[in-house]
Structure 1
């Protein structure tokens, strides 16, 4: 067979095929065919503050979520990252289902062990900032526009509270107040006579209220703004409660309170603040001489909203008459009728003498 010469047309075809194949090889880059896929790790509250084995979490719908490791609830309890810092968010509406016998909603940790003040050596610390308090409520009601961010609670008898740490800010004010309460452990069988005594930390105490429903007192000059960090340390040892409050740019404040010997055991001991706030509404009791001796107590931490929708005619100190949208949580969140607190750090130290607090939860869940 005679070999045929390669024509010019065939030569062009072969060159075209070679060029196309060579071009395709150049466009196939290993980096593009083997891209590395990364997934951002989810951050839980227990990653930010690793102490959740010591607590059960009560949510703003009244439910007990239990030990909240690797847990979140987008309505009440989750984390945020602000300027590369992680925070744990506690959020509670003005109105909704509540835990136990309280009138108020809370998203709050409750310690799973209780300890006895006389033999205690227990400590709670936290660094936080309050991001929101209720936009509505009767300004004449002392608890309006306030949230409790830390507590000591009794697990026994009347379940009264030897410590509540408050933040309160009136609408239109830049700065709010931080103060703490001691609630008497009422003598006798009638706990409706109990009352709180309030001590100012920065700004005013609980007793400073508005003259009318929507008329507010003067803004505190040494107060704390929304979004401004502050810290507290609570130590209970050998019957004494020691409190330390710190915040950059503010004077450090310290307090000491005896939890096992009352200073309010007779009518003559009732302070003027109580006569102004509580006595006019029939809360004029006295305290057991031994105060909280013999009662198991435990720490709480979070956002215990003090503003609610109940009529001030029921109780002018605790019933705010605020907007609740009939318990619709999202509507309350939309128009500012909620409490929100962010915690950056916290710690708990539990003494060897502490015992199970399960009975408290079984009574109140």
Structure 2
């Protein structure tokens, strides 16, 4: 046989073998890549905890919408009440709570809410809470004549002492069929004397109407506010208490920034003649006609609260036409309430807290038997 033919055949065989081996190697690479890709798709994403979105949870105790106390909520989530979502731009903390279910303490209302674990005193305070949020849902049902229907409280100052009243509650309220809702804030008097059942709130509008704007019939709401806030529309609040004065600031793009001040250590409601007209119409007819102690909240330990405190409940308006909404609760079945819109849901994007040196530890204050309104 010709030597050239033999060499050429040998070379052909070597080249062919190299090509085959190379092809096998590439196929193996493809197989490995596919396997890795499939593994990546099947991996469970690590949850983003609320304490990663707003890293101040060492300062708060969390109450859930079923009445349970979750305590310090670092690296914690609850699929029904407290978790995070991403809207494509930002992570948000979701606070969600039904109209009806197990409530905390003596309250008629459910909440998924943070309570500050340190209390401070208004007279010596230098304390501040800020938050940016959007309300995503308020109850679909409720008597339109009841002031608390279709409302949720998204921030508070609460007293930890004596009557345990509330010098501040920040509300969002929107009636069914309306595009825009109202943001307003309340001051609750710190009642003089032992009978706290006569206490009342005074409501100030921020954007839209105040608490006193109600419907003429159970299913007939008042007119929609022109300068209101829609569901899903961001707004921010700043609460600052210093040397006995509470300063409030409300900010939302496209809306006028609003500011307010209130003295927390010197009352303006010490006689029946001081009771405002709004209160005369809303609270006095149902027997809430008290007056406030002269030094208001001076000497009382106070603390901040933040979250979704649902103001719509299933109790009959005959009990209290301001606070008992007669809303649908499905006998306390949470999932049924969530399915047909009978719940409150609030998303928080940012929040900060500044606590003065005079604040004292309040750890252990919040237990299942505590009276928290």
Which TM-score bucket, shorter chain as reference? over 0.9
Residue 364 (str. 1) matches residue 358 (str. 2): no
Offset of residue 23 of structure 1: 7.4
C-alpha offsets along residues 75-128 of structure 1, whole Å, 9 cap, x if unaligned?
000000002310000001000001111100000000000000000000000000
Which piece of structure 1 moves more, 21-30 or 288-297?
21-30
- Counterpart residue number, 1:85: 90
Residue 200 (str. 1) matches residue 205 (str. 2): yes
Distance between the aligned counterparts of 1:182 and 1:359, measured in 2? 27
SS at match of 2:323: coil
Structure 1 residues 1-365: aligned runs within 5 Å: 22=21, 25-30=24-29, 32-33=31-32, 35=36, 38=40, 39=43, 40-358=45-363, 360-362=365-367, 363-364=369-370
SS at match of 1:90: strand
Unaligned runs of 5+ in 2: 1-9
Distance between the aligned counterparts of 1:270 and 1:33, measured in 2? 78
CA RMSD of aligned residues (A): 1.9
Unaligned runs of 5+ in 1: 1-10
Offset of residue 356 of structure 1: 1.6
Distance between the aligned counterparts of 2:73 and 2:31, measured in 1? 42
C-alpha offsets along residues 328-357 of structure 1, whole Å, 9 cap, x if unaligned?
000000000000000000000011110122
**What TM-score, normalized by structure 2, do the two folds share?**
0.91
Distance between the aligned counterparts of 1:54 and 1:102, measured in 2? 23
- Counterpart residue number, 2:4: none
**What TM-score, normalized by structure 1, do the two folds share?**
0.93
Distance between the aligned counterparts of 2:341 and 2:203, measured in 1? 26
Offset of residue 18 of structure 1: 5.6
SS at match of 1:28: helix
Distance between the aligned counterparts of 1:203 and 1:357, measured in 2? 36
SS at match of 2:246: strand
SS at match of 2:108: coil
Distance between the aligned counterparts of 2:22 and 2:274, measured in 1? 96
Offset of residue 361 of structure 1: 1.2
Distance between the aligned counterparts of 2:18 and 2:72, measured in 1? 67
Distance between the aligned counterparts of 1:53 and 1:22, measured in 2? 61
